[in-house]
Amino acid sequence: MRIRALGMALCFSAMLFGAESAQERLKDAGDVFNEIMSTPDRGIPQDLLSKAHCIVIVPGMKQAAFGIGGKYGRGFATCRRDRGGWGAPSAVRIEGGSFGFQIGATSTDVVMLVMNERGMRRLIEDKFTLGAQAAVAAGPVGRSASAQTDAQLSADILSWSRSKGLFAGIALEGATLRNDLDENRELYGKELHSKDILLTNMRPPAAAQPLVSSLNKYSRVEEKNQPIESRAKDAVDGDADRVKDKAHHKKKAAEQ
């Protein structure tokens, strides 16, 4: 009985994966991102987006059950370029399941921000498990991330979901994220791994331009010709210098 249920679930996932072309899915990913960010009070804080190394968008991740529960989805990851802005997207597949009696299927949009170099290194691997190989936490919602919890501050990846119009943080513990070589072949005309795309200045395909433009619109474009890690350090050093200058001017004014 369980084998039959598993077979039905696998067949269902195959139908889901074949439902759209890579180009159509890229458009869906851009639409999901724009819709979420167009309501800033209930979206991803822009200061988090500006600090993120990479973003993963999975439009319409499916949770299906025929006596066995499972999650299946295809989407795209893109990372910041060394020369500023966001780069070409790499196709990814998210999978995860739990045994137990469930009925029906739901569709959920998922967004993840990769917040540090450790998370980025995991992202370019062939596959990794969220929670086990990269710390993941539910992301905050709103204009600012000033009220982040300790878990959010220490997480490699922050994640959100949107279902039936409700957008909220969600921790995707146990889900597996992997390269989608078939989808990359459809987009780029050859088999490419995530590292071949995300760690280079590869030109985004035409279908990705709306998504890349939206990412650049809603997040600060980094300075050119400087790696993101160095830019982040410079930003921290610059803030410290400004604090010192402010204290100096305040002391000087008091003396006068």
**CB-hemisphere CA count at 13 Å for 238?**
6
pLDDT at 181: 95
Q: Which of 34-38, 126-130, 144-148, 222-226 has the lowest mean pLDDT?
A: 222-226
Same domain (yes/no): 129, 187: yes
Burial group, residue 132, by CB count within 10 angstroms (0-12, 13-18, 19+): exposed
Q: Each residue of 117-126: b (16+ CB within 10 Å) or e?
A: eebbbbbbee
Do 111 and 148 share a domain, yes or no? Answer: yes
Q: Clarify whether residues 132 and 233 are in a common domain.
A: no
Is residue 132 domain-shared with residue 184, that is, in the same domain?
Answer: yes
pLDDT value of residue 17: 45
Same-domain pairing of 256 and 130 = no
The bridge status of strand 157-163 relative to strand 136-138 is: parallel
Q: What pLDDT score was predicted for residue 97?
A: 52
Range of lowest pLDDT (70-84, 178-192, 212-226): 212-226
- For residue 63, the enclosing domain spans 2-225
In terms of domains, do 57 and 182 share one?
Answer: yes
How many separate domains does the chain show?
2
Q: Is the pTM of this model over 0.85?
A: no
**Shared-domain flag, residues 241 and 144:** no
Based on the domain organization, do 197 and 231 belong to the same domain?
Answer: no
* Residue 157 and residue 139 share a domain: yes
Closest CA to 160 of 42, 64, 78: 42
Q: Identify the CA nearest to 13 among candidates 97, 102, 77.
A: 97
Structure-block tokens of residue 122: 């995991």
Determine the pLDDT at residue 145.
Answer: 66
User: Tell me: the pLDDT tens digits for 83-118?
Assistant: 668 999 999 999 885 434 444 557 789 999 999 999
Cα 190 off chain centre by = 24
Higher local confidence (pLDDT), 149 or 236: 149
How far, CA to CA in Å, does 113 sit from each of 46, 56, 159, 177, 234?
Answer: 11, 6, 6, 13, 21
Q: Do 98 and 85 touch, CB atoms closer than 8 A? A: no
User: What tens digit of pLDDT does each residue of 222-256 get?
Assistant: 544 445 444 333 433 443 444 344 444 445 555 55
Summarize the chain as % helix, strand, coil (round to 5).
40, 30, 30
